[in-house]
């Protein structure tokens, strides 16, 4: 034990010295000086003060007041078109996996309170369809939609055309093949056996390859960029695309980590998939969408950089809070708890920026579908993250660990935060790529209300029941079967919530396909060049 403590002390000392030197260096080199200018890089000249939301019925589309401004808008249109094939490949695939994942999730939920539902076949037993649900929505929906949106934002952020988009298209195909093989493997009972890492490692190589192929256009486009400042969204996207292949590769190294140390690697990875992969993508998108729709830069650019680096530092070490009370060294658990609590720093800085920028503009939530989805997603990020910090405390964790409470928390993060932001981004992006209006705006509303009410029922019922379950488990006076019976109403409510969400996804997918096929009434002009006179009529 003593050498471990000695090494820890040395690492802590070296770290704080390096951190101090970095701070001195960054102040000396004016790293903190590029303030609000950088925050404005997302606007084309003269665009500030004008909203951009192609999904909004009364959008005052800014087309430039003079020829120079009009040229900049035209250049952005060309940049948008350059990423078209790549973005549509990833987004279309993600919508398919969302539907598949939803059906498997719903079936898993039904099985929890109707255990005799579909038991005859081994391919549909609970222990197989549940991981199919998780992997389909994580690696299929969230990751593919996230990469799709990132591919759309990259040329916009760098103000140039996407270079090497075909690598991303090939990457998308490889990623899809990986999903088909991986989900089939789980169904056939060939799971690797660790949560979040169920795909057999041989198949995981395809994901590393597919992800790496997406990094090529990112690097090529960054090298070609025409902006001086790197907007904060690009920080998050670049970091996420560095982190994911690295994480996925180490965690899947076959036979490297046996026994209890395998559990630490498992949860180091699983929480980093959330913290260093989907979270930076989600926050990054919100950092772009909120100011863009409001036509107003984020309130503090410096704060956003502190938020980025503190997220990187703290989020990367929270994973072991999944093993509180488990058979691993105490220092390791404590380290993760400390980092989990420290996560409130990046969360609060991001919250100040996201919500602070919204102040005075909440009325816009009424008519902008993208803003509504993205901002609610950003709000749920704040809520889910602070809840997560609390759950990492030993006194809370002793109750919530091993219960449905954690499941509710996971869906608050992956769904109410991330998926909402992705929905909002898709509503923003599709009209830009297809040059077509969303045909039925009422469907956007319907989608919003179905998934919102669905996730509300889901989270509330499981949170309450999970807490009661956790308290009861601590005291052996209550027999185990009584606890099971106590949670049943919540498990049934979850099926209702899940069914509403699945219904919402059907509406969303239908609308998405209609967009791809350019259904509905033709407007006289593409969304981008919709004349500003249009909304005065409404």
Partner 1 sequence: MKRALAIMVGAALILLLATLTLVVMPYLQMSAEQVPPDLKPYTEQQQRGRQVYIANGCVYCHSQQPRDPSFAPGDKDRGWGRPSVPGDYAYDEPHLLGTMRTGPDLFNIGARQPSIDWQLMHLYNPKAIIKGSIMPSYPFLFRHVKEPVEGDKVVNIPPPYGPETGKIVATEDALALAEYMLALDHTYPAPTLPKAPPKSDEPKENRAP
**Positions 261 through 300 that interact with partner 1 (CB under 8 A):** 261-266, 268, 272, 276
Query: Is residue 193 involved in binding partner 1 (CB under 8 A)?
Result: yes
210-269 binders of partner 1 (CB under 8 A): 222-223, 225, 230, 234-235, 238-239, 242-243, 246-247, 250, 255, 257-266, 268
From the list 128, 130, 131, the residue with the least C-alpha distance to 108 is 130
Q: Which stretch binds partner 1 (CB under 8 A): 90-98, 451-459, 483-491, 494-502?
A: 483-491
Query: Is residue 316 involved in binding partner 1 (CB under 8 A)?
Result: yes
Least separation in angstroms between residue 138's CB and partner 1 is 15
End-to-end CA distance of the chain: 72
Phi and psi (nearest 5°) for 418? -70, -50
Q: How far is CA 91 from each of CA 47, 146, 169, 239, rounded to the nearest angstrom?
A: 27, 8, 11, 21
436-475 binders of partner 1 (CB under 8 A): 473-475
Taking CB under 8 A as the criterion, the residue among 211, 284, 291, 319 binding partner 1 is 319
Nearer to partner 1, 181 or 250 (CB): 250
Query: Residues 452-476, buried b or exposed e (16+ Cβ, 10 A)?
Result: bebbebbbebbbbbbbbbbebbeee
Distance of CA 427 to the CA centre of its chain: 16
Q: Which stretch binds partner 1 (CB under 8 A): 70-78, 84-92, 115-123, 366-374?
A: 115-123
Q: What is the 3-state secondary structure (H, E, C) of 256-324?
A: CCCHHHHHHHHHHHHHHHHHHHHHHHHHHHHHHHHHHHHCCCCCCHHHHHHHHHHHHHHHCCCHHHHHC
356-395 binders of partner 1 (CB under 8 A): 394
Distance of CA 200 to the CA centre of its chain: 24
Query: Is residue 15 involved in binding partner 1 (CB under 8 A)?
Result: yes
Query: Is residue 345 involved in binding partner 1 (CB under 8 A)?
Result: no
Residue 174 CB neighbours (<10 A): 19
Determine contact, residues 62/376, Cβ cutoff 8 Å.
Answer: no
Radius of gyration of the chain (CA): 23
Residue 111 tokens, joined: 């099985």
Residue 492 CB neighbours (<10 A): 15
Q: Which long-range contacts (CB under 8 A, 24 or more apart) does 249-256 make?
A: 249/208, 251/197, 252/192, 252/197, 252/201, 252/204, 253/201, 254/201
Q: How far apart are CA 83 and CA 177, in angstroms?
A: 22
Residue 503 CB neighbours (<10 A): 17
Q: Label residue 64 left, alpha or beta by phi (over 0 means left) and psi (-120 to 50 means alpha).
A: left
Q: Which stretch binds partner 1 (CB under 8 A): 63-71, 92-100, 141-149, 307-315?
A: 307-315
Least separation in angstroms between residue 487's CB and partner 1 is 8
Taking CB under 8 A as the criterion, the residue among 54, 101, 131, 291 binding partner 1 is 131
Q: What DSSP state is assigned to residue 138?
A: I
Q: Which stretch binds partner 1 (CB under 8 A): 3-11, 54-62, 416-424, 508-516?
A: 3-11
Q: How far apart are CA 11 and CA 6, in angstroms?
A: 9
Nearer to partner 1, 258 or 363 (CB): 258
Nearer to partner 1, 317 or 452 (CB): 317
Least separation in angstroms between residue 330's CB and partner 1 is 8
Q: Which stretch binds partner 1 (CB under 8 A): 185-193, 372-380, 429-437, 504-512?
A: 185-193
Determine contact, residues 285/233, Cβ cutoff 8 Å.
Answer: yes
Residue 479 CB neighbours (<10 A): 10
Query: Is residue 82 involved in binding partner 1 (CB under 8 A)?
Result: no
Residue 113 CB neighbours (<10 A): 16
Least separation in angstroms between residue 29's CB and partner 1 is 11
Least separation in angstroms between residue 409's CB and partner 1 is 12
Using CB under 8 A, count the residues that bind partner 1: 88
Q: Which stretch binds partner 1 (CB under 8 A): 6-14, 361-369, 423-431, 511-519?
A: 6-14
Taking CB under 8 A as the criterion, the residue among 37, 68, 71, 122 binding partner 1 is 122
Nearer to partner 1, 19 or 356 (CB): 19
Query: Is residue 496 involved in binding partner 1 (CB under 8 A)?
Result: no
Taking CB under 8 A as the criterion, the residue among 111, 411, 447, 530 binding partner 1 is 111
Taking CB under 8 A as the criterion, the residue among 484, 513, 517, 522 binding partner 1 is 484
Least separation in angstroms between residue 323's CB and partner 1 is 7
Instruction: Kindly state the helix (H) or strand (E) to which residue 126 belongs, with its residue range.
Output: helix 126-135
Residue 524 CB neighbours (<10 A): 8
Least separation in angstroms between residue 319's CB and partner 1 is 6
Taking CB under 8 A as the criterion, the residue among 74, 195, 367, 535 binding partner 1 is 195
Least separation in angstroms between residue 346's CB and partner 1 is 13
394-413 binders of partner 1 (CB under 8 A): 394, 398, 401-403, 406-407
Taking CB under 8 A as the criterion, the residue among 40, 50, 130, 494 binding partner 1 is 130
51-70 binders of partner 1 (CB under 8 A): none
Query: Is residue 177 involved in binding partner 1 (CB under 8 A)?
Result: no
Taking CB under 8 A as the criterion, the residue among 4, 17, 36, 525 binding partner 1 is 4
């Amino acid at each position: 034990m003593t050498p471990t403590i000695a090494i820890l002390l040395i690492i802590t000392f070296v770290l704080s010295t390096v951190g101090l030197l970095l701070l001195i260096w960054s102040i000396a080199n004016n790293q903190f000086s590029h303030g609000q200018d950088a925050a404005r890089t997302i606007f084309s000249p003269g665009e500030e003060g004008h909203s951009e939301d192609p999904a909004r019925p009364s959008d005052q589309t800014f087309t430039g007041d003079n020829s120079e401004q009009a040229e900049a808008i035209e250049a952005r249109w060309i940049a948008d078109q350059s990423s078209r094939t790549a973005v549509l490949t990833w987004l279309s695939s993600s919508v398919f996996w969302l539907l598949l994942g939803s059906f498997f999730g719903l079936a898993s939920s039904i099985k929890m309170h109707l255990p005799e539902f579909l038991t005859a076949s081994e391919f549909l037993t609970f222990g197989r369809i549940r991981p199919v649900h998780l992997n389909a929505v994580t690696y299929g929906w969230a990751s593919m939609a996230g990469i799709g949106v990132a591919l759309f934002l990259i040329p916009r952020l760098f103000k140039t055309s996407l270079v090497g988009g075909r690598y991303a298209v090939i990457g998308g195909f490889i990623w899809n093949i990986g999903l088909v093989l991986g989900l089939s493997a789980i169904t056939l009972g060939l799971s690797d056996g660790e949560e979040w890492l169920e795909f057999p490692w041989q198949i995981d190589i395809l994901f590393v390859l597919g992800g790496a192929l997406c990094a090529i256009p990112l690097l090529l486009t960054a090298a070609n960029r025409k902006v001086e400042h790197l907007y904060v969204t690009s920080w998050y996207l670049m970091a996420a695309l560095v982190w994911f292949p690295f994480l996925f590769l180490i965690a899947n190294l076959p036979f490297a980590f046996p026994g209890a140390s395998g559990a630490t690697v498992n949860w180091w990875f699983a929480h980093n998939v959330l913290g260093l992969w989907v979270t930076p993508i989600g926050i990054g998108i919100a950092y772009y969408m909120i100011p863009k729709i409001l036509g107003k830069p984020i309130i503090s650019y410096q704060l956003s950089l502190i938020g980025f680096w503190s997220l990187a530092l703290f989020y990367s070490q929270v994973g072991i809070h999944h093993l509180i009370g488990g058979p691993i060294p105490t220092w390791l658990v404590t380290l993760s708890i400390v980092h989990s609590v420290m996560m409130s720093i990046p969360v609060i800085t991001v919250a100040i920026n996201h919500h602070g920028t919204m102040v005075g503009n909440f009325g816009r939530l009424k008519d902008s579908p993208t803003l509504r989805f993205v901002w609610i997603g950003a709000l749920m990020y704040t809520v889910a993250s602070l809840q997560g910090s609390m759950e990492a405390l030993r006194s809370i964790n002793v109750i919530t660990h091993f219960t449905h409470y954690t499941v509710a928390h996971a869906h608050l993060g992956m769904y109410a935060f991330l998926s909402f932001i992705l929905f909002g981004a898709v509503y923003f992006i599709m009209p830009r790529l297809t040059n077509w209006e969303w045909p039925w705006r009422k469907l956007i509303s319907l989608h919003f209300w179905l998934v919102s009410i669905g996730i509300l029922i889901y989270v509330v019922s499981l949170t309450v029941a999970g807490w009661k379950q956790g308290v009861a488990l601590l005291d052996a006076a209550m027999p185990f079967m009584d606890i099971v019976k106590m949670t049943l109403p919540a498990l049934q409510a979850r099926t209702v919530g899940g069914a509403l969400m699945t219904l919402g996804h059907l509406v969303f997918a239908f609308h998405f396909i209609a967009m791809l096929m350019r259904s509905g009434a033709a407007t006289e002009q593409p969304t981008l060049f919709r004349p500003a006179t249009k909304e005065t009529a409404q």
